């Protein structure tokens, strides 16, 4: 148990081991650990950032969705309004058209009837003259008696 | 002398180092061999991890080694506030080396000595003259060498940081700062300075020597009842082994941190 040369040997071994650890072991391992710690810290920070971004994006999405819904409702409302407007307009236009066509038809019918009446009158006058001729059995001067004839025609 | 198979002879045999040489130039071959072997186990295994260390996902052994490195690094960071690239590797070396040497205590007390005796017998020696003490930290030379290394570093850094004058001033002007008490301060401070490595060496040596002695006593005295007794003592010793390594490391850091402090 006395102190002896073993102490010197162990001291030399101790110095060697410390030197070796200082030179070849500690810096490498500690460096790896620290680098990994940095990496993990960065990863965590990135994750947090991404989470924040996601939250923001979700906010945006809900807002946009709300906007879009409002817009869609607006558009539908406008379309409905426009549709009723168009329907109303078309209905009035149709009515007017119908009135117009009916009026036109009536006018045409009137004109036709007037023409037929005129024709008839002409023919009756001719017939009347012919009849009178036959009754009188003589030549009636058409020109001389035209006033009578005209009166007749007017009476028809 | 070592021929008889008495309990006393058994214990004495177990407490004797295998030595070569005479007087001061005696070499405890077993202490040297085991400690250097364990030191090599430490630096080579850690070096192999360091060589393959990845920054990415580490393997299991790398994880284990990094745990130790980080633990030691944290201890150093908490206690030592200066900047010195030596302290952390020194602490790691002390912790791992002492831990491994202490762990030799858990190998059954007769296993390696008996093996050595058997081999010695084969080589033509009298087995009773073959000694083998496998726990290097039960040799005061081992613990004193560690403490001496730490002591030299303490002195070195004290002088380096504070200058020789500052270091001396710390020795003579410290508790009572009046010139007529300088001689008294000097005695106290030198004693407390020398007590640091002494306590380092003796604490580790005493703990491990006592632990080893209990194992030997259990093995030598109580026959077949030694099995549960060994188990209980080994379980208790399981606490002592890392604790002593940790204390040695921590005190080293503290002492060196004191050496770096400039008043």
Region for residue A137 given its phi and psi (left: phi exceeds 0; alpha: psi -120 to 50; beta: otherwise):
left
Cα of first residue to Cα of last residue in chain A, in angstroms, is: 171
Beta-carbon separation of A21 and B89 below 8 A: yes
Chain A hits for B98, CB-CB cut-off 8 Å, are: none
**B141 a catalytic residue:** no
- Inter-chain residue contact A28 with B50, CB threshold 8 Å: yes
Q: Is residue A69 pLDDT above 60, yes or no?
A: yes
Concerning whether B19 is annotated as a catalytic residue, the answer is no
Beta bridge partners of B131: none
Determine the pLDDT at residue B64: 92
Give the pLDDT of residue B115: 87
In chain B, which residues have their Cβ closer than 8 Å to the Cβ of A37? none
**Mean pLDDT of the A93-119 span:** 94
pLDDT, tens digit, 9 for 90 and up, residues A133-149: 787 766 666 677 777 77
- Percent of chain A exceeding pLDDT 90 equals 66
The interface pTM score, or ipTM, of the predicted complex is: 0.87
pLDDT averaged over chain B?
88
DSSP letters along B160-171, please?
HHHHHHHHHHHH
Is B199 tagged catalytic?
Answer: yes
Given A3, A10, A29, which is nearest B50 (Cβ)?
A29
| B104 contact partners, CB below 8 Å, separation of at least 6 | B34, B38, B134, B135, B136
Higher pLDDT, B233 or B129: B233
Q: Are residues B89 and A26 in contact, defined by beta-carbon separation less than 8 angstroms?
A: yes
What's the confidence (pLDDT) of residue A141? 65
Asked if residue B3 has pLDDT above 60, the reply is no
Torsion angle of the four alpha carbons B39, B41, B43, B46, in this order, in degrees rounded to the nearest 10: -150
Out of B49, B66, B144, closest to residue A3 by CB: B144
Q: How many CB atoms lie within 10 A of CB A150?
A: 11
Q: Closest Cα of chain B to A27: distance in Å?
A: 8
Interatomic CA distance for residues B93 and B98, integer angstroms: 8
In this prediction, what percent of chain B has a pLDDT beyond 70?
97
Task: Please state, for a pLDDT cut of 90, what percent of chain B lies above it.
Answer: 49
CA distances from B151 to B30, B73, B185, B258 (A): 25, 21, 20, 12
Residues B9-33 pLDDT 10s: 888 888 888 888 888 888 888 899 9
Tell me if B141 and A22 make a contact (CB, 8 A cut-off).
no
Model confidence at A104, pLDDT cuts 50, 70, 90, reads: very high
Q: What is the DSSP letter of A23?
A: I
Helices (H), chain A: 5-20, 26-136, 146-155
> pTM for the whole thing?
0.74
- The overall average pLDDT reported for chain A is 89
**pLDDT at residue B263 in the model:** 60
Closest CA of chain A from B43, distance in Å: 7
Phi first, then psi, for residue B244 (nearest 5°) are: -65, -40
Instruction: Please name the member of B46, B97, B141 whose beta carbon is closest to the beta carbon of A7.
Output: B141
pLDDT for B2 beyond 60: no
* Residues B160-218: tens digit of each pLDDT: 988 888 888 888 887 778 888 888 889 999 999 999 999 999 999 999 999 999 998 88
């Amino acid at each position: 148990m006395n102190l002896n040369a073993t102490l010197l040997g162990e001291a030399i071994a101790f110095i060697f081991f410390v030197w070796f650890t200082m030179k070849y072991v500690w810096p490498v391992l500690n460096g790896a650990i620290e680098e990994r710690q940095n990496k993990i810290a960065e990863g965590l920070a990135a994750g947090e950032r991404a989470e924040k971004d996601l939250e923001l994006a979700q906010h945006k999405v809900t807002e946009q969705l709300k906007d879009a819904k409002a817009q869609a409702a607006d558009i539908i409302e406008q379309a409905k309004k426009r549709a009723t407007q168009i329907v109303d307009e078309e209905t009035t236009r149709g009515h007017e058209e119908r009135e117009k066509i009916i009026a036109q038809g009536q006018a045409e019918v009137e004109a036709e009837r007037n023409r037929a009446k005129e024709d008839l009158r002409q023919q009756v006058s001719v017939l009347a003259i012919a009849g009178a001729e036959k009754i009188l059995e003589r030549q009636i001067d058409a020109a001389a008696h035209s006033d009578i004839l005209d009166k007749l025609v007017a009476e028809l | 002398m070592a021929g008889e198979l008495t309990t006393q002879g058994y214990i004495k045999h177990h407490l004797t180092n295998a030595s070569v040489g005479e007087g001061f130039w005696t070499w405890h071959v077993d202490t040297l061999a085991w400690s250097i072997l364990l030191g090599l186990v430490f630096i080579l295994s850690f070096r192999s991890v360091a060589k393959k260390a990845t920054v990415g996902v580490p393997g299991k052994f790398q994880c284990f080694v990094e745990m130790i490195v980080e633990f030691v690094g944290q201890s150093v960071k908490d206690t030592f506030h200066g900047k010195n690239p030596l302290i952390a590797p020194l602490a790691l070396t002390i912790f791992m080396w002492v831990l491994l040497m202490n762990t030799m205590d858990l190998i059954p007390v007769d296993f390696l000595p008996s093996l050595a005796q058997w081999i010695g017998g084969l080589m033509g020696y009298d087995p009773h003259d073959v000694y083998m003490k496998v726990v290097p930290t039960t040799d005061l030379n081992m613990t004193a060498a560690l403490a001496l290394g730490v002591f030299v570093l303490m002195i070195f850094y004290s002088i380096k940081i504070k200058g020789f004058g500052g270091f001396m001033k710390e020795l003579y002007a410290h508790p009572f700062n009046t010139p007529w008490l300088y001689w008294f301060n000097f005695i106290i401070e030198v004693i407390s300075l020398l007590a640091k490595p002494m306590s380092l060496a003796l604490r580790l040596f005493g703990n491990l020597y006592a632990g080893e002695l209990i194992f030997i006593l259990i093995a030598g005295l109580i026959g077949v009842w030694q099995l549960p007794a060994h188990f209980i003592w080994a379980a208790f010793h399981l606490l002592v082994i890392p604790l002593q390594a940790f204390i040695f490391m921590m005190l080293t850091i503290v002492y060196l941190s004191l050496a770096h402090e400039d008043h």
